[in-house]
Amino acid sequence: MKEILYKSTRNSDIRVTASQAILKGLSDDGGLFMPTEIPLLDKTLKELSAMDYCNVAYNVMKLFFTDFTEEELKNCIDAAYDQKFDTEEIVPLSEVDSAYYLELYHGATIAFKDMALSILPHLMTCSAKKNNISDEIVILTATSGDTGKAALAGFAEVPGTRIIVFYPKGGVSFIQERQMITQKGDNTFVVGIRGNFDDAQTGVKKIFGDKEFAKELAAKGFRFSSANSINIGRLIPQVVYYVYAYVKLLEAGKVGEGEKINVVVPTGNFGNILAAYFAKNMGVPIGKLICASNENKVLFDFISTGVYDRNREFMLTNSPSMDILISSNLERLIYLIAGSDSDKNRELMERLSKEGRYTITDDMKAKLADFVGGFATQRETEERIKEVYDKTGYVLDTHTAVASYVYKKYAEDTHDDTKTVIVSTASPFKFTKAVMNAIEGEKNNANDFELVDRLSRIANVPVPKAVEEIKTAEIRHNNICDIDKMADTVREFLGLG
Ligand SMILES: *Cc1c(COP(=O)(O)O)cnc(C)c1O
């Protein structure tokens, strides 16, 4: 197998192995790690179609993580995709209203972040061993809701790791907070801060950048690491389900050999759709990559005009996990369409941080031809949930509904009848209130747990274990701190006196 190294999008002289890239997360120059090339699949789609999820995962990840042995990688995969998922298929496809919904929400926290965060802890501890690092890894995360719980669930009880999550007290949904503060595992620590998400994020970045603190930690055998979505150890595991979805459609006779499919991805940080682009470049017959945004439609504007401009009002919408104005993973695509030119990419990223906008060249824009942008307003999102429910009985969450609306509009406008996979990123039970309001056409005052039971009845779907459990689970984390006390809180948890 060809060795793949990882280079920084801002300096091509920096090259590290896969395990080093996973441990570091971000390159020292602020760039993201990119594989020196995107490898082609070395099995036919037909061969892959006979495999289960773990085997497909191995056949994709082995091509990227070339410094892992077969045994190491298989151990990581088997530890991640197991009974934590409520279905053996791991990511089932549901055929609804002439499209295929790829349900990425059957893991521990019922959102698609589980797909990567259930394997990242294992990739990380394995990477530490390979690089002779014996320090305990301390994951620090600021969350606006979904990532925190998925990271907690992934790292809980993983030997050699601890995880600390900061969330804005009063700034996350009822279900999201309950999910976090009931988290089990002696290596987990959850803290509400008196501030908003930006305060939490800034506080965490400050701790990461504190050289003195790092020294203090090293003396006690700890080192910080990050689980955020720019880690290559999160991106590559997401490529797997696009390969899997295609080969399962092939196996079921829904597509013929070589027949192209389109994919529609509800997008925020651009990680999920970038994984689809990787899958396409590995040889999966994917035609259009349809990027669906909510009212924070920076990406729609970028794809249509070639101008990325974050200077606009930040909207709080009913699909909060897509409320983002800086899509960090887009940098990887910019780097690729700039012809893997790290100087050119660095220049654009510097412009983004200074002026909040940049314009790509016509040459680069031409290389975006496979991407289509679309967006849905909150109103259109709600209407789509109701429309699909009334027609089929299938219930979409708000994020998936954005994608579903964008797909419907695209199909009407273009008459493109290519078979289409719509990526379903969260269970409707995670956003019960918004979903029930959409279906019942009124604002509900009922409490969240009552709505959960009602949703279960009307959708004819059992309440997911993840929600059932938190109804009665013991509250284990009761910590609140001020913004300027975050570092002290970390010291306390680690017993640094
Ligand atoms: C994170 C998230 C997204 C956005 O995914 P990106 O990879 O950041 O584009 C979409 N939907 C849900 C439910 C999410 O949690």
pLDDT of residue 377: 98
CB of 426 shorter than 6 A to ligand 1: yes
Residue 235 CA to ligand 1 center (angstroms) comes to 12
Q: How sure is the predictor about 324, in pLDDT bands with cuts at 50, 70 and 90? A: confident
Residue 215 CA to ligand 1 center (angstroms) comes to 35
CB of 271 shorter than 6 A to ligand 1: yes
CB of 147 shorter than 6 A to ligand 1: no
Residue 68 CA to ligand 1 center (angstroms) comes to 28
pLDDT digits (tens, 9 = 90+) for 357-400: 999 999 999 999 999 999 999 999 999 999 999 999 999 999 99
Reference 358, options 429, 305, 290; nearest CA is 305
Got the DSSP string for 298-338?
A: HHHHHHHHSEEE--SPPPP-SSGGG--S--TTHHHHHHHHT
**DSSP one-letter code for 466:** H
CB of 148 shorter than 6 A to ligand 1: no
Q: Which of 332, 399, 435 to mutate to test the pocket of ligand 1 (most atoms within 8 A of CB)?
A: 399
CB of 111 shorter than 6 A to ligand 1: yes
Q: Hey, is 364 helix, strand or coil?
A: helix
Q: In this structure, are residues 51 and 21 in contact, taking their beta carbons and an 8 Å threshold?
A: no
Q: How sure is the predictor about 346, in pLDDT bands with cuts at 50, 70 and 90? A: very high
- Structure-model confidence comparison of residues 93 and 225, the more confident one: 93
What is the spatial distance between Cα 403 and Cα 390, in angstroms, rounded to a whole number? 18
One-letter amino acid of 155: F
Q: Hey, is 70 helix, strand or coil?
A: helix
CB of 266 shorter than 6 A to ligand 1: yes
The length of the chain is: 497
pLDDT digits (tens, 9 = 90+) for 65-103: 999 999 999 999 999 999 999 999 999 999 999 999 999
pLDDT of residue 221: 94
Neighbours of 84 (CB within 10 A): 18
In this structure, which residue's CA is closest to atom 1 in ligand 1?
321
Calculate what percentage of the chain has a pLDDT beyond 90.
Answer: 83
Edge-to-edge strand list for the sheet holding 136-142:
222-225, 136-142, 161-168, 188-194, 479-482
Q: Hey, is 125 helix, strand or coil?
A: helix
* Residue 179 pLDDT exceeds 90: yes
pLDDT digits (tens, 9 = 90+) for 232-268: 999 999 999 999 999 999 999 999 999 999 999 999 9
Question: CB within 8 A of 121, min separation 6: which ones?
Answer: 154, 155, 158, 161
pLDDT digits (tens, 9 = 90+) for 403-453: 999 999 999 999 999 999 999 999 999 999 999 999 998 777 788 899 999
Ligand 1 atom with the smallest distance to the CA of 272 is 7
pLDDT digits (tens, 9 = 90+) for 121-160: 999 999 999 999 999 999 999 887 788 999 999 999 999 9
Ligand 1 atom with the smallest distance to the CA of 268 is 9
In this structure, which residue's CA is closest to atom 8 in ligand 1?
269
Ligand 1 atom with the smallest distance to the CA of 113 is 15
pLDDT of residue 171: 79
Q: What is the mean pLDDT of residues 178-187?
A: 95
The radius of gyration of the chain from alpha carbons, rounded to an integer in Å, stands at 22
Residue 268 CA to ligand 1 center (angstroms) comes to 5
* Residue 205 pLDDT exceeds 90: no
pLDDT of residue 417: 97
* Residue 297 pLDDT exceeds 80: yes
In this structure, which residue's CA is closest to atom 11 in ligand 1?
425
* Residue 175 pLDDT exceeds 80: yes
pLDDT of residue 404: 98
One-letter amino acid of 144: S
CATH of 93-110+233-462, one of 3.10.20.30, 3.30.70.100, 3.40.50.1100, 1.10.540.10: 3.40.50.1100
